[in-house]
């Protein structure tokens, strides 16, 4: 199937993108080779794959959706490719990344709850064969640049042990864009920038969006595109907090009165320029004609930090559309039907089998994954093979006080946080998170005291929406269509039977950077046995006494609540 899909494509002119006049100096590679590889031979090898992920970029935070943020490079790539307007991700960082890398739902990797914290002895399960490992088997040179956030307590967890030939980036979830300092509670701070399995102390002071772009351009400049297919996973930390960008990106948005939105827009513009320069390098060094560029966010935007998911409901950390419907597009000369908007249902787990298929792998390499090969839906405009998405089932998240097995018709306990989409229908149970519709931040003082004036989720535990006809989740049909509710509750039961236990261990004091040379690095020996017998028992009021390891525990718990709940 993959071979058939890649033959007979018409090639796009190298000049067709039409924005070659920008100054490349902010992201220029030091001592970049002068030579240029020429695409003179027919396409005889699998395509070069460039997967670009941004962090916390909201649905309304791109030029073709927004009126106040300008992204000419991203807009042009999307317009000449295929915009994915029915594309789903996860509401927070670690789950989206784990599903991309494994092709599996969180319930099948034990990462159903929250994110992997820097001090948790936890990471992507070792029994999972990752996407880059599969691509290595198929002859690819694999490289990762940017944010990992899939655990690092053992060296076995590191990107270079999970399928990447090279790695350059940060291991934790949030770092300073210049100093690369990362904190996990009061006084628990350390340096987090790594070259392979070593700490990259000498790179501090350089803005991460520029630094990561320079590294990608260097990889492209030093690799021969005719000798071996290339897979690059570029995982920007932008536009996650802290809100930091060089001054020259802020100036064009001086008319935005809201300071958070102004800084956030500047960071998006820096990413836009970075993607332009990477695309320019793909053309310069002879990759472009046989390349597939995929752009994706990792979760919804956070309005408290300048992001916007308007007109969708909710935000990052919630299972409303604003938390799980992502920005995404595919740009490639190999697309059969370009310059269109796709309504095909696509989920982040689908990239695993799709890219393995593009790389020439057969279906046996993706047995057991939850994703589908959606290349024909994207490239040819065919129907998506995906009909259903399990957004998640999180048994540890705060149970909704209004939920019960009785309210779930004796089928499902609606106190449990869960969400599923099947066809046109979407069901949510438990506490989905803050559920308001939040316009772009225009007022100078927002959110401030204005936040408390916003409407909060009605105290109930079951919602049903026809998401195709009501993408903004305005009309709850759970009472009008109990038949559909029962069917979807039964699907939750079906999936829950296949779930593995949640992996969410207590943090380990040995992870403190002060005990490890001032940096976040692996702290457990590979020979040491794992133990995940302790998790946060939120139902037990005495759990803090039993599990308290340090004074920062209360900070840790409050931080988790701020990210995931509606009590902000």
C-alpha–C-alpha distance, residues 547 and 553, integer Å: 9
Q: What are phi and psi of 428, to 5 degrees?
A: -130, 140
For residues 382 and 401, membership in a common domain is answered with no
Task: Identify whether 65 is preceded by a cis peptide bond (ω within 30 of 0).
Answer: no
Q: Mind spelling out the 3-state secondary structure of 335-371?
A: CCCCCEEECCCEEHHHHHHHHHHHCCCCHHHHCCCCC
For residues 371 and 430, membership in a common domain is answered with no
- Evaluate whether residue 7 is within a structural domain: no
- Evaluate whether residue 541 is within a structural domain: no
List residues with catalytic annotation: 93, 149
- Evaluate whether residue 165 is within a structural domain: yes
- Evaluate whether residue 93 is within a structural domain: yes
- Between the alpha carbon of residue 34 and those of residues 16, 223, 297, 545, the distances in Å are 23, 13, 33, 63
Contact 326, 295 (CB under 8 A): no
For residues 426 and 463, membership in a common domain is answered with yes
Query: Which CATH number belongs to the domain containing residue 425 in this structure?
Result: 3.30.1120.10
C-alpha–C-alpha distance, residues 162 and 172, integer Å: 16
Q: Residue 27 in 3-state DSSP?
A: helix
Mind giving me the DSSP string for 403-420? --TTTTTTTS-TTSEEEE
Q: How far apart are the first and last CA of the chain?
A: 49
- Evaluate whether residue 239 is within a structural domain: yes
Which residue has 């998506």 as its token pair?
384
Domain range spanning residue 480?
A: 397-440+454-498
- CB count within 10 Å of CB 244 equals 18
pLDDT of residue 565: 34
For residues 367 and 458, membership in a common domain is answered with no
For residues 179 and 237, membership in a common domain is answered with yes
Q: Residue 273 in 3-state DSSP?
A: helix
pLDDT of residue 552: 39
Per-residue pLDDT tens digits of the chain, which is 568 residues long = 333 333 332 222 222 333 333 344 445 554 555 444 444 444 469 999 999 999 999 999 999 998 799 999 999 999 999 999 999 999 999 999 999 999 999 999 999 999 999 999 999 999 999 999 999 999 999 999 999 999 999 999 999 999 999 999 999 999 999 999 999 988 899 999 999 999 999 999 999 999 999 999 999 999 999 999 999 999 999 999 999 999 999 999 999 989 999 999 999 999 999 999 999 999 999 999 999 999 999 999 999 899 999 999 999 999 999 999 999 999 999 999 999 999 999 999 999 999 999 999 999 999 999 999 999 999 999 999 999 999 999 999 999 999 999 999 999 999 999 999 999 999 999 999 989 898 877 656 655 555 554 455 458 999 999 999 999 999 999 999 999 999 999 999 999 999 999 999 999 999 999 999 999 999 999 888 776 554 544 333 333 333 333 333 443 344 444 433 332 2
Q: Residue 289 in 3-state DSSP?
A: helix
Bridge-partner residues for 342, per DSSP?
A: 84
User: How many CA atoms are closer than 13 Å to the CA of 401, on its beta-carbon side?
Assistant: 3
Query: Which CATH number belongs to the domain containing residue 162 in this structure?
Result: 3.40.720.10
pLDDT of residue 444: 60
C-alpha–C-alpha distance, residues 524 and 125, integer Å: 15
- CB count within 10 Å of CB 501 equals 10
- Evaluate whether residue 72 is within a structural domain: yes
User: What order of strands is seen across the sheet that includes strand 462-466?
Assistant: 388-394, 417-422, 425-429, 462-466
Contact 154, 524 (CB under 8 A): yes
Contact 225, 286 (CB under 8 A): yes
- Evaluate whether residue 554 is within a structural domain: no
- Evaluate whether residue 68 is within a structural domain: yes
pLDDT of residue 541: 34
For residues 188 and 335, membership in a common domain is answered with yes
- Between the alpha carbon of residue 199 and those of residues 9, 68, 95, 169, 329, the distances in Å are 44, 38, 25, 10, 34
Contact 469, 424 (CB under 8 A): yes
pLDDT of residue 440: 79
For residues 156 and 229, membership in a common domain is answered with yes
Helix (H) or strand (E) holding 53: strand 48-54
> What's the distance, CA 433 to chain centroid?
19
Among 386, 405, 425, the domain-final residue is 386
pLDDT of residue 562: 40
The DSSP code for 477 is -
* Count of the separate structural domains present in the chain: 2
With CA atoms as reference, report the closest residue to 234 among 280, 288, 176, 296: 296
Angle between the N-to-C axes of helices 208-222 and 259-284, in degrees from 0 to 180, rounded to the nearest 10 = 10
For residues 181 and 88, membership in a common domain is answered with yes
Angle between the N-to-C axes of helices 93-102 and 351-358, in degrees from 0 to 180, rounded to the nearest 10 = 30
Residues near 148 by beta carbon (within 8 Å), at least 6 away in sequence = 97, 158, 159, 167, 169, 170, 171, 235
Beta strands 291-297; 48-54: pairing state:
parallel
Q: What are phi and psi of 391, to 5 degrees?
A: -70, -45
Structure tokens given for 386: 């995906």
pLDDT of residue 9: 28
For residues 177 and 292, membership in a common domain is answered with yes
pLDDT of residue 120: 97
Residues in the chain: 568
For residues 379 and 401, membership in a common domain is answered with no
The DSSP code for 547 is H
Contact 95, 81 (CB under 8 A): no
CA angle 202, 204, 207 (to 5 degrees): 135
For residues 288 and 320, membership in a common domain is answered with yes
pLDDT of residue 39: 47
Structure tokens given for 14: 């190298």
C-alpha–C-alpha distance, residues 311 and 309, integer Å: 6
pLDDT of residue 556: 37
For residues 219 and 298, membership in a common domain is answered with yes
C-alpha–C-alpha distance, residues 117 and 425, integer Å: 33
Structure tokens given for 537: 């028992």
Strands (E) in 75-133, as ranges, are 82-84, 87-88
- Between the alpha carbon of residue 336 and those of residues 58, 85, 367, 375, 484, the distances in Å are 29, 18, 27, 10, 37
């Amino acid at each position: 199937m993959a071979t058939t899909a890649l033959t007979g494509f018409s090639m796009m002119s190298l000049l067709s993108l039409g924005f070659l006049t920008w100054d490349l100096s902010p992201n220029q590679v030091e001592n970049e080779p002068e030579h240029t590889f020429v695409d003179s031979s027919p396409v005889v090898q699998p395509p070069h794959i460039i997967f670009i992920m941004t962090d916390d970029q909201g649905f309304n935070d791109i030029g073709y959706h927004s009126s106040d943020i300008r992204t000419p490079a991203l807009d042009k790539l999307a317009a000449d490719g295929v915009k994915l307007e029915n594309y789903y991700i996860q509401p927070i960082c670690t789950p989206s990344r784990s599903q991309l890398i494994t092709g599996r739902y969180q319930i099948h990797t034990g990462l159903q709850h929250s994110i992997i914290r820097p001090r948790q002895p936890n990471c992507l399960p070792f029994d999972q064969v990752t996407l880059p490992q599969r691509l290595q088997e198929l002859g690819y040179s694999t490289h990762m640049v940017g944010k990992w956030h899939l655990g690092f307590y053992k060296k076995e967890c590191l990107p270079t042990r999970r399928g990447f030939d090279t790695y350059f980036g940060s291991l934790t979830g949030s770092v300073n864009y210049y100093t690369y300092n990362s904190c996990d509670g009061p006084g628990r701070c350390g340096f987090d920038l790594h070259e392979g399995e070593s700490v990259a102390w000498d790179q501090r002071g350089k803005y991460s969006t520029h630094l990561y772009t320079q590294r990608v351009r260097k990889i492209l400049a030093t690799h021969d595109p005719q000798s071996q297919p290339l897979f690059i996973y570029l995982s920007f930390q932008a536009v996650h907090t802290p809100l930091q960008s060089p001054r020259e990106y802020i100036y064009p948005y001086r008319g935005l009165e809201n300071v958070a939105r102004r800084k956030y827009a500047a960071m998006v513009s820096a990413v836009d320029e970075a993607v332009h320069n990477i695309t320019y390098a793909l053309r310069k060094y002879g990759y472009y004609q046989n390349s597939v560029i995929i752009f994706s966010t990792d979760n919804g935007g956070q309005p408290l930090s300048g992001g916007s998911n308007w007109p969708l409901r909710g935000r990052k950390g919630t299972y409303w559309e604003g938390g799980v419907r992502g920005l995404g597009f595919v740009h490639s000369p190999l697309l059969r039907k370009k310059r269109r908007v796709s309504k095909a249902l696509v989920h982040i787990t689908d990239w695993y089998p799709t890219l393995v298929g593009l790389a020439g792998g057969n279906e046996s390499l993706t047995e057991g994954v939850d994703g589908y090969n959606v290349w024909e839906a994207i490239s040819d405009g065919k129907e998506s093979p995906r009909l259903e998405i399990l957004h998640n089932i999180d048994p540890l998240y705060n149970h909704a006080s209004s939920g019960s097995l009785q309210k779930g018709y004796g089928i499902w306990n609606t106190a449990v946080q869960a969400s599923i989409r099947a066809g046109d229908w979407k069901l949510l149970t438990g506490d989905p998170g803050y559920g308001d519709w939040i316009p772009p931040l225009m007022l100078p003082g927002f959110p401030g005291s204005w936040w408390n004036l916003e409407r909060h989720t009605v105290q109930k535990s079951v919602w049903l929406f026809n998401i195709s006809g009501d993408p903004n989740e305005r009309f709850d049909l759970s009472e009008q269509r109990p038949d559909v509710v029962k069917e979807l509750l039964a699907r939750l039961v079906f999936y829950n039977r296949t779930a593995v236990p949640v992996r969410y261990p207590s943090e380990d004091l040995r992870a403190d950077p002060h005990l490890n040379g001032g940096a976040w690095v692996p702290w457990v020996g590979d020979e040491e046995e794992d133990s995940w017998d302790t998790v946060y028992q939120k139902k037990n009021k005495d759990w803090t006494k039993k599990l308290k390891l340090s004074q920062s525990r209360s900070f840790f718990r409050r931080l988790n609540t701020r990210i995931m709940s509606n009590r902000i």
